[in-house]
Amino acid sequence: MYQFNWRPVFDNFGLLAKGLALGLGIALLALAIGSAIGLAAAFCRTHGSRPLRLLATSYVEAVRNIPLLLIIYFVYFGLPLLGLSLLDNIWSFIAALALYAGAYLTEVFRAGIEAVGKGQIEAARAIGLTRLQVVRHVTLPLMFRISLPSLGNTFISLFKDTSVASAIAVPELTYGAIRINVNTWRVIEVYLVVGLMYLSACYAISGVLRTVERRLRIAT
């Protein structure tokens, strides 16, 4: 019978907690930067000229079909070899994750833009708003409201993806687990606790998201 020994885990809990916080922070940052990229690309796909549409679509299709790990390696190892690098491992990872997120978010925002009813846009134009004003006052706010659930789910996905950052020694939660194991080899205990931490974090985030969605829907 396996003898459980939880002490090493709890002695190092600070390490794990910090890793969790870092993971959440990275995911949030990647979501923000990725949203900027995604928004731009989404508008390219819906309102842009042909070359812009092609560019955006290529970006989306390319990134969505290759592994995150490959992108991370390219940014962290590949760019320096090409002479471009000032990024440490954490920022390399954030850049890679943002690039990855951007492709998915492009589709989220594109669906959101297309979901904004034609009727509402026509009504806005009918009272004399310019195209830019329509985008600013009608399309964007409605699109955000529609996209919110998907944005939330993307955030949870990105948070789970931060575990891959351990490959380039970013001190998030999974890396913390690896470090404790290397020193104590209490593998079962560590991964049970770490697994539980990821699970609880995802559950908590889902709960918050659902509450926010409910609140906003009432406001509508």
Partner 1 sequence: MMDLVLASAPLIGRGLLITLAVSASVLVLGTALGLIGGLCLLYGTRPLQWAARIYVDVLRGVPQLVLIFAIFYGFPVLGLQMSAIAAGILALALFCAAHVSEVVRGAVGSIPRGQSDAARAIGLTFRQRLRHVILPQAVGRFLPAWVNTAVEIVKSSSLVSLVSVVDLTMATQQVVGRTREALLFYAVAAILYFVVNFALSLASRNLERRFSHA
| Chain contacts with partner 1 (rule: CB under 8 A) | 2, 61-62, 65-70, 73-74, 77-79, 81-82, 160-164, 166-167, 174, 177-178, 181, 185, 187-188, 191, 194-195, 198-199, 202-203
* Cα(91)–Cα(56) distance, integer angstroms: 24
> Residue 116 or residue 189: which is nearer to partner 1 going by CB?
189
Nearer to partner 1, 54 or 62 (CB): 62
- Pick the closest to residue 201 from 34, 69, 68, 16 (CA basis): 16
Which CB sits closer to partner 1, 129 or 202?
202
Per the CB < 8 A criterion, the answer to whether 72 and 168 are in contact is yes
Toward partner 1, which CB reaches closer, 19 or 38?
19
Minimum CB distance to partner 1, residue 67 (Å): 4
Shortest reach from residue 198's CB to partner 1, in Å: 5
CB of 130 to partner 1, least distance (A): 39
CB of 182 to partner 1, least distance (A): 10
Give the three-class secondary structure for 85: coil
Rg of the chain, C-alpha, whole Å = 21
Residue ranges of alpha helices (H) inside the chain are 7-11, 13-47, 50-64, 68-73, 79-81, 89-115, 118-126, 131-134, 140-161, 173-184, 187-219
Closest listed residue to residue 135, CA positions, set 48, 34, 54:
48
Closest CA to 20 of 210, 92, 4, 28: 28
Nearest distance from residue 43's CB to partner 1, in Å? 25
CA dist 101 and 33 (Å) reads 9
- Identify the CA nearest to 72 among candidates 94, 88, 56, 101: 94
Rounded to a whole number of angstroms, the minimum distance from the CB of residue 61 to partner 1 is 8
- 87 versus 121: smaller Cβ distance to partner 1: 87
Smaller CB distance to partner 1: residue 40 or 63? 63
